[in-house]
Structure 1
Amino acid sequence: MSIPSVLSTRNTVLALAAFTALAGAARADVLDDVKAHGVVKCGVTQAAPGFSAEDNTGTRKGFDIDLCKAIAASTLGDETKIQLVPMDLKTAFAGLPTGAVDVLTHRFTWTQSRDVSGLKFPKVMFFDGQGFAVTTKSKANKVADLNNATICTAQGSTSELIVADYFRAHKLKYKIVTFASQEQAWDAFVSKRCDAAINDRSGLAARLAALPNRDEFKVLTETVSNEPIGPIVAQGQPRWEAVVRFTLNALVAAEELGVTQANVDEQRSSPSPDVQRLLGVTGDFGTKLGLGNDWAYKAIKAVGNYGDVWDRNVGPKTPLRLERGRNALIAHGGLMMSIPVR
């Protein structure tokens, strides 16, 4: 990719974020809106099994859906009071400040340009990294083997810039082919319109899991970037940002403290001060968020702790078969830890 093309990608991302900043100030308090309308509107990825995808009954399930349910449970006391809006990158960033959605529980990377230009990331929910998928018949066994390859990705995504930076740094040549969404880019790759596809490694695993011929494709072992992924809210909404942050935080804290979906009722009688504060038995931490003091209890009761959500949607017993890795609790060698509830 040429330098002007790379700059165009950067400008696309910055322009979208700038629009978010301009529009964000016009929206009323989101927490009040959610309570008034009795529903949490979540922007989600269109089709990523394990994260956000419809099952055989047409019900959308996944990691990102569970986070939306947890936010609804903590805010409204009912995890079913959600509206799921499948979105691509452009519609997601444009729709957030206008009120089309209240929060993006989508699979977007927390970057500096996005953060300072109107998109606020309350907390990392998934530590990921980008990788490349190729066909098993391909002679590529490492990224260096992709010299002169054609690579599919979404226009304006972080993947587009990562390809440019990585290939330039390693003196590799390539041709980029961009599409309006990651779904379209993936379909083009599967149709053999390009030699490789780049995406978050979890995203590649999700897309491979949905293929009937998944054995015809593989993911190269190298991870070429760090991708901290988390929910996004509009700038200028500190109350709503705090609700989203501490709802996700409660799921992580629950895992640290051994509180699960199965035992959360029993744990309300725990002698542990940390558990008592988390579940609202003592303290007024919910009130300070504009919620009931049992907000975290309701979120955990609805979806379980962070480990429960992981195992149910993307863990070793699911089609994605993802190990925790960097997403393990810090006590277990990972990066995931909670902000203390005190």
Structure 2
Amino acid sequence: MRLPLLATLAACIAGTAVAQTASPGPTLSTVRSRDALICGGHPGAPGFNVLDSQGVARGLDADTCRAIAAAVLGDAAKARFTVLSSQARLPALQSGQVDVLPRTTTWTQTRDTANGLNFTAVNFYDGQGFMVRRSAGVQRAAQLAGATICVTSGTTNELNLADWARANNVRVQPLVFDQNEETRNAYNSGRCDAFTTDASQLAGIRTALRDPNEHVILPDIISKEPLAVAVRHGDDQWFDIVRWTIFALIEAEELGVTQANVDEMLASPNPSIRRLLGNSGDHGPLMGLDRRWAYNAIKAVGNYGEIFERNLGSGSPIGLQRGVNDLWTRGGLMYAMPIR
């Protein structure tokens, strides 16, 4: 009789724990008290974070920020953006100037361990490439020997360029600038022969040049650039909130839950959809959030696939294919941990 009794007591205790809403940690408390989420934003990366004609931030990273705001505060409009240079973005997160950093930031070992940061989840898999003028006749990166190459300081691109040149015995002349806009303007004005940064950003930058057709992006990718959303060390609850919001957007795409049908999906008998949308389980309260946390995020910005297509996909000005950023069920790398 004793073992069944102990099992029953354990089940009751576990059930009670699940039913309770976790107390808000320091970051969640701050965000709620302010009634706004402050995200670190890019000064201008088409497809990721750039201001439209009405001054509204648009892009994958901007929508990621809005999804987190909707999950935490129930309203995507409570997302705020602080524009940060490449050099300023990590210190701004460390100091608490921003709550979260969805800003084209590569997840590296040094950044993860030496800077007091935690990377929650990858929201875009990228790699560094090169853009050149079509008139130069360059078809592969190895042909850039002797070239002057524009690059922004404070980025992984600067180190990657040096590593690639050394490993391949290609002598190049880096022309380094502090701001992305300075780098782009220098290339556009002819001060350098090539521009190197993440290939997705090159695709976006190309659309903003005077004549995009005059420029080509070389097929060579010289690095791995997993772009991930970062938070500060020391607040596990906030880490969980940001990570699982990103996972929820990916899971929603896999389950066929969209911005348009999310209300209809509330009636779905599918157990995974019911957990995602808060109809069963206490997955939001476990993080100190409402049960509708994921519903609110999806309702605000759509699932991951919708966000990608709207900002970066084949129908957008950037025109990227999903590639490795497709779902794992279609040969990509996007794989959400299960909500259960």
TM-score exceeds 0.5: yes
Q: What is the aligned counterpart of 2:189 among 178, 181, 191?
A: 191
**2:85 maps to which residue?**
88
Q: C-alpha deviations, 1:98-152, integer Å up to 9, x for none?
A: 2211111100100000001112110000000110011111131100100011111
The answer to whether the 8 A contact 2:186-2:192 is kept is yes
State the distance in 1 between where 2:232 and 2:182 align.
27
Q: C-alpha deviations, 1:173-209, integer Å up to 9, x for none?
A: 0111111122221211111111111111100011111
State the distance in 2 between where 1:233 and 1:327 align.
22
State the distance in 2 between where 1:258 and 1:296 align.
14
State the distance in 2 between where 1:123 and 1:289 align.
17
User: Is it true that 1:313 corresponds to 2:311 in the alignment?
Assistant: yes
User: Is it true that 1:115 corresponds to 2:112 in the alignment?
Assistant: yes
Amino acid in structure 2 at the alignment position of 1:77? G
- What residue ranges of structure 2 are gaps of 5+ in the alignment? 1-24
Question: Following TM superposition, where does structure 1 have runs of at least 4 consecutive aligned residues deviating by more than 2 angstroms?
Answer: none
Q: What is the aligned counterpart of 1:236 among 230, 234, 237?
A: 234
How far is the alpha carbon of 1:84 from its aligned partner?
0.8
Q: C-alpha deviations, 1:201-248, integer Å up to 9, x for none?
A: 100011111223111111101111111001111111211111110111
Q: What is the aligned counterpart of 2:296 among 295, 298, 307?
A: 298
Q: What is the aligned counterpart of 1:162 among 151, 160, 163?
A: 160
Identity %: 44
**1:322 maps to which residue?**
320
| Cα-Cα RMSD | 1.0
Amino acid in structure 1 at the alignment position of 2:105? F
Q: TM-score, normalised by structure 2?
A: 0.91
Q: C-alpha deviations, 1:2-57, integer Å up to 9, x for none?
A: xxxxxxxxxxxxxxxxxxxxxxxxxx811110011100001111111221111122
Amino acid in structure 2 at the alignment position of 1:50? G
How far is the alpha carbon of 1:87 from its aligned partner?
0.9
The answer to whether the 8 A contact 1:264-1:301 is kept is yes
Amino acid in structure 1 at the alignment position of 2:86? L
The answer to whether the 8 A contact 1:139-1:145 is kept is no
**1:46 maps to which residue?**
43
State the distance in 2 between where 1:207 and 1:31 align.
35
Is the radius of gyration larger for structure 1 or structure 2? 2
The answer to whether the 8 A contact 1:77-1:298 is kept is yes
State the distance in 2 between where 1:191 and 1:100 align.
35
**2:274 maps to which residue?**
276
**2:16 maps to which residue?**
none
**2:206 maps to which residue?**
208
The answer to whether the 8 A contact 2:151-2:174 is kept is yes
Q: What is the aligned counterpart of 2:59 among 52, 56, 62?
A: 62
Q: TM-score, normalised by structure 1?
A: 0.90
State the distance in 1 between where 2:256 and 2:276 align.
12
State the distance in 1 between where 2:113 and 2:91 align.
16
Instruction: Report how many residues are paired.
Output: 315
State the distance in 1 between where 2:315 and 2:306 align.
12
Amino acid in structure 1 at the alignment position of 2:329? A
State the distance in 1 between where 2:224 and 2:306 align.
24
- Name the SS of the counterpart of 1:121 in structure 2: strand
User: Is it true that 1:223 corresponds to 2:227 in the alignment?
Assistant: no
